[in-house]
Amino acid sequence: MQSPGALEISRRDLLVASAATVTVASTASLSHSQTNAPAASQSTKVSFTVNGERRELQLDNRTTLLDALREHLHLTGTKKGCDHGQCGACTVLIDGRRVNACLTLAAMHEGEGITTIEGLGQPGSLHPMQAAFVEHDGFQCGYCTPGQICSSVAMLEEMKVNIPSHATGDLLAPAEVTPAEIRERMSGNICRCGAYSNIVQAITEVAGRKA
C-alpha cells in the first residue's frame, strides 16, 4: 500500500526546489531582534547522527529532540502523543538506549547517535520487530506503534545485559524474556487501542528468534 501522503505530493507540480525549513527558527529570530523588541529566541547549533546520517541544525534552545526530528528533519515516524513523557509514543534510541524524545532537548545531544523508527526498517525490508508487529497485529491506529517498536528493540538489548526490572525475581540470575518481564518493561508505552496482548506475542517471537 502506498502512503496517501506520498501520492498527494507526487501529483503536485514542484516548481520550487525544496526549502530549507531547518533554518526557519534562526531567520525568524533574527527578523525580530530589533531595538525595543523583546529579545530574540535563543538558538544553538547542534549536530548529531540520525539513522546513520550526520545532521546539523540551528535550533531554538527550547526545541525538544522530538520536535527537532518531526518539525525540522521531517522524520515524523516518531510520534507526539503527550509531549510530557507520559505515553512513550516518542520513544527513540540514543546510542542504543531508549529515550522519550519529548523529555529531552535537542541541544543536549551533540555528537550522539539517534535511531528512529525510520532507521530500523522500511516497507519491503522490515526490521524483525516491525515484521513481528505486522504478523501479530500488534497495533491498530498505529500512532503508538513506532514508540512500541523502538522501545521493544532496546528493551531486549537491556535484558541481554541483565538490567533488572521490577518483575525480575533473581537479580543474580540471567534475565529471562517472560511475558511478565516484557509487560513490566514495556509499561511506559501506552496503547489506547489495547493491542498489548498482541504486542507481547510479537516481542516474544522476536526474542525467541534471536536467542
Residue with Cβ nearer another protein (74 or 209): 74
Half-sphere exposure of 209 (CA within 13 A, CB side): 12
Q: Cα(136)–Cα(113) distance, rounded to whole angstroms?
A: 30
- Tell whether residue 145 is a contact of another protein (CB under 8 A): yes
CB of 109 to another protein, least distance (A): 17
List the beta bridge partners of residue 59.
44
Please report, as residue ranges, which positions from 16 to 75 form the binding site for another protein (by CB under 8 A).
16, 18-19, 21, 24-25, 28-29, 32-33, 37-41, 60, 62-63, 67, 70-71, 74-75
Q: Cα(129)–Cα(115) distance, rounded to whole angstroms?
A: 14
**Count of positions (residues) in the chain:** 211
- Tell whether residue 169 is a contact of another protein (CB under 8 A): no
Please report, as residue ranges, which positions from 101 to 120 form the binding site for another protein (by CB under 8 A).
116-118, 120
Per the CB < 8 A criterion, the answer to whether 97 and 126 are in contact is no
Please report, as residue ranges, which positions from 122 to 141 form the binding site for another protein (by CB under 8 A).
122-124, 126, 130-131, 133-135, 137, 139-141
